Amino acid sequence: MSHSDDDPDAGPDDNDEAPTSTSSSAATGDHYDCGAAWTTANYRLQPRVTRWKAKRRRWLHQNPGFPSRDARGGPRVLLVTASPQGPCGSPDGDRFLLRATKNRLDYCRLHGVDMVHATARLEDPELRSAGYGDGWAKLALLRRLMLAHPEVEWLWWLDVGALVTDMGFELPLARYEGAHLVVRGDSYQLFQRRAWDAASTASFLLRNCQWSLDLLDAWVVMAPKGRARHDAGELLTATLAGRPTTSPRLYTCSSPRRSGGWTGCTSRTSTTCTASGRRWSAREGHGEAPPGVRR
């Protein structure tokens, strides 16, 4: 599944002399049903950024030592993952975390991909108060990395429990030309059944552009406590069947449908997930992990 617009940064973003003020409702309104009480963002990831395409283009021009292309001429990719600061609850957990980290490092070394493995506590106080600090913190992390690394074209989020099972796999970035979000999913399950498990955020690609920054703003408004989260919860429960905490990502994808397009995506990367109400064992050969997946 890929999400694209004709040009997310078109218009004022291409003009360095354009005014920088932007209405918060205009920036996120397309991601919500018109008239919803919580469309005005009670909370935003900071700092507020506009005209990112023009700013990024200017930065690249002023810093030729940091090209947006890698040594092979392809778009520069940054693989992002995160894990807790402290040790796991068992030695086996630490051992598998080490193996997963080595798996990513080996893949990045082979394919010229940069990597960030965050272990710092990045929870924003507002996100922590929502009770989902560890899960929601990746939104702030991705945003900070976008702004700190303008030379990166794509950010590839990979959950700490995910492995690359084919070291020869090449990201088919040429297929995603014009797309800004690539996530594995099922269009029928999402748009027809509105199933909560129609898409997985364990592994997804996010282009470093203004559209992506706006998406993160639209996503994070569902996190804080209070009216915004209460109303968002009611909306998501009414919209998605069997709603878990991952449903805000699905809702921003599925409503409205006209804002995105679906294409077939490769299935050569496998990730391990925790299904709602069920856990897979941390030991190989136990549990109900998908074929070809090891955790």
Tokens of residue 265, six digits: 């995506």
Give the total residue count for the chain: 295
Q: Which of the residue ranges 43-57, 79-93, 163-177, 226-240 has the most confident prediction, judged by mean pLDDT?
A: 163-177
pLDDT at 208: 96
**265 vs 198, more confident:** 198
User: Whole-angstrom Cα distance, residue 188 to residue 186?
Assistant: 6
Neighbouring C-alpha atoms within 13 Å toward the C-beta of 258: 3
Give residue limits of the domains in the chain. 40-259
Stated as kind and residue range, the H or E segment containing 24 is: helix 24-28
Q: How confident is the model at residue 132 (pLDDT cuts 50, 70, 90)?
A: very low
For residue 248, the one-letter residue type is: P
Domain 40-259 -> CATH class: alpha beta
Say whether the peptide bond before residue 150 is cis (omega within 30 degrees of 0).
Answer: no
Q: Are 232 and 248 in contact (CB under 8 A)?
A: yes
pLDDT at 22: 30
pLDDT digit string, tens, across residues 88-98: 888 888 899 99
**78 vs 279, more confident:** 78
User: Whole-angstrom Cα distance, residue 121 to residue 86?
Assistant: 10
- Rounded to two decimals, the pTM is 0.66
Tokens of residue 135, six digits: 């899960």
Stated as kind and residue range, the H or E segment containing 251 is: helix 247-254
